[in-house]
Structures are given as C-alpha cells and as structure tokens.
Structure 1
Amino acid sequence: MKVPRIENVTPTSNMTLEIQWKGAPASAAHLFGWIATGGELLTPLKSPEVWKTATVTDYGATVEWAGEDLAIDAYHLFQIAGDQRDFALDDVRKWQEQAGLSNNEAADFLGVN
C-alpha cells in the first residue's frame, strides 16, 4: 500500500489532526488513543500549547510537535485516519460479501432490521 505524503496538518481541539494529503482526500485523525498508549513520552501532547505546535516535517513523512521525540509518521497517521473514517454503504457491502453473510445474517450481526 502506498501511503501519501502529508501536505498540511491543522491541529484542532480534542487531540484531532485535520490532514491534507498529497494525492489523497483530506481526513481527520483523533489521536487520543494513540497518545494514551504512549506513556510518559507522549503526555506533553495533552497540553493545548504543545498540541497546537503540530507541523509537517521530513518532506511530508512526519508530523512533529515542539518538544523532544514528539512525532508520528505518515504511515501510522494514514492508518489511524482510515480506521476512524465513516463506514460507507460500499464498505458494508464489501464486508458482507467477504464474510459470506445474507442480508438477514448481516442485519442480525449489526443489530438492525
């Protein structure tokens, strides 16, 4: 899988980055979970003053924040944003086909009519 480079990033509230990719649609990545798993190293990102310093570096391969070792690479950022995107109708159809589920089975699994 080819991961696009980051063209621009805008840090917003609630530990979310709005990302403009080079050659791919824009997306958002909510990084609260990633920060929570980073232990003491990523704790400074909980500070609004540090969070707003997010900048694109390494020719679009990384987002870094002011401070020592505060960064995330484009690959992981792209993965997180993809995992968090809205689940579209085509995604449901693809999942249903891959799982080999009938409409009734898929509805039961998802808890809908």
Structure 2
Amino acid sequence: MRPSAEPSSPGQKARYQRILRAAAKHGAANGLERVQMHDVAKEAGVAIATLYRYFPSKTHLFAALLAQQVGRLEETAVLPEAGGDPVEAVADLLINASQQLLR
C-alpha cells in the first residue's frame, strides 16, 4: 500500500478537512463498519480517487480522524488549579475529553 499524500495547498487542506468531517458524520450515524468510502467522498464533494489519495483505506481515514480529535483535546484541555484535588482534576479532564470526542 502506498503512503498517504499530505495536503499542502489551501485547497487541498480544505478538501482534506471536508473528508474528515464527512467521515465523522457517517461514522457517527452508521458506525465504522458500515461506513462506505464512496459515501464519504460524495458527502465531502470529492472524487473517490481524491479520497484514496489522502486515505488509502478506511483504517487510515479513521485513524486520521481520531488523531485530529486528540489534537483538539490537547488544545482545549483546562489545566487544574494548583493545590486542587488531583482526583477531581483527572475526573474533570476525562469528562471534558469524552464530551469533546462525542461532539
């Protein structure tokens, strides 16, 4: 299997993001097993060849989606207050992370 292409131009980056949004939508609605690459491409408004250029398989597609979501968690994580209860801080972090992933 060939390596995934990396988007470089603004247009390519926009297509890449549309594909990830479409995959998230179809994954949430149908579950990973039922997601069809053709449906993701159609929803994203790209040719199936474009989808496979960036994501050689459904596993690659959803791994990229998960990586993006984890990156967002890092951006939105709220650091606990100094001297606060560490157990509460971990619980709050996990609750926030779960809510972010569900969105």
Shorter chain as denominator, the TM-score bin is 0.3 to 0.5
Give the structure with the higher percent helix: 2
- TM-score, structure 1 as length reference: 0.32
Give the structure with the higher percent strand: 1
